[in-house]
Amino acid sequence: MKVYEALNWASYFLKKNERDENAGELLLRHHMKLDRAQLFSRMQEMMPMDTQSSFVFNVHKHAAGIPVQYLMGKEEFYGRSFFVSEEVLIPRPETEELVVGLLDRVKRHFADATEKLSVVDVGTGSGAIAVTLALENKNLNVMATDIAGESLEVAKDNAEALGADVEFLQGDLLLPFIEQGIKVDIVVSNPPYIPEKEYEGLSVVVKDFEPYRALVGGVSGLEFYERFMVELPQVLKDRAIVAFEVGMGQGEAVKNLLLETFPDARAEVVLDINGKDRMVFAELG
């Protein structure tokens, strides 16, 4: 099979199975270890048989629902490649926007800071947020928590591979800091926010393969934000920033929770590139 024949077959096969046909190109580039330009320059070449076999096998696995990122073992986030496995949520473009918004607010809100700022990424998963913050702003002392040790192992591997200085702690939300009496300047989180009743309606690619614990936020989808409102006052300094990713339609509810907890805060709902309420920021002090 020539390279172009493999690509055409994969695109047709995935489309017929109601999957994104572009995944065929991603898998082909992954198996041939080529970037896009290299792939298109070698379209008339014959594929090695072992490469062809593993490529066809993974195309069938993706057609069955396994996310292409898990098949490749990686996903791009903020211009960097992160390891992913079925123990972590696949990093998404919307979360890149959360990081951009937080970095901008850190520069503005702490413009006169003379010492390093402490930031906690809660429910870190792959470590995408924590690692990116550490690499993008050297004035941040980054810590990250997750309740699952399996997720933390993936996050640690990403921090090591990308050369990011991040301290990882296993625990439920902010409890590791409450128990040690630690106060921080910034809390950021992309917590589980899908309501239980919406879970069954998710795409098979998400529902059957990404971890339930990273997706569902109780009956209302707001369970973790409500828990944060109890814990945040115990760990935030007087001058602080809170940054949340939220589900579509949850922005105002989460903003109101923050204002009930911190009446003097400046809180705002920010839309993502698709015009959906996706981020909520609160600045204290």
Tell me the binding residues for substrate.
Answer: 190-193
Q: For residue 210, what is the DSSP state?
A: S
> Cα(first)–Cα(last) distance of the chain, in Å?
64
Where does the chain have alpha helices with state H? 3-16, 23-32, 36-41, 49-63, 68-72, 93-109, 128-136, 149-162, 175-180, 196-199, 204-207, 223-235, 251-261
Separation between Cα atoms, residue 237 and residue 157, nearest integer Å? 30
Compute the chain's Rg from CA coordinates.
21
Binding-site members are 123-127, 146, 190-193
Binding-site members for S-adenosyl-L-methionine are 123-127, 146, 190
**CB contact set of 163 (below 8 Å; sequence gap of 6+):** 135
CB atoms within 10 A of CB 209: 16
Question: How many angstroms from the chain centroid is the CA of residue 149?
Answer: 17
Separation between Cα atoms, residue 29 and residue 42, nearest integer Å? 11
**CB contact set of 193 (below 8 Å; sequence gap of 6+):** 217, 221, 222, 224, 225, 245, 246, 247, 250
The DSSP-derived string for 232-256 is: HHHHEEEEEEEEEE--TT-HHHHHH
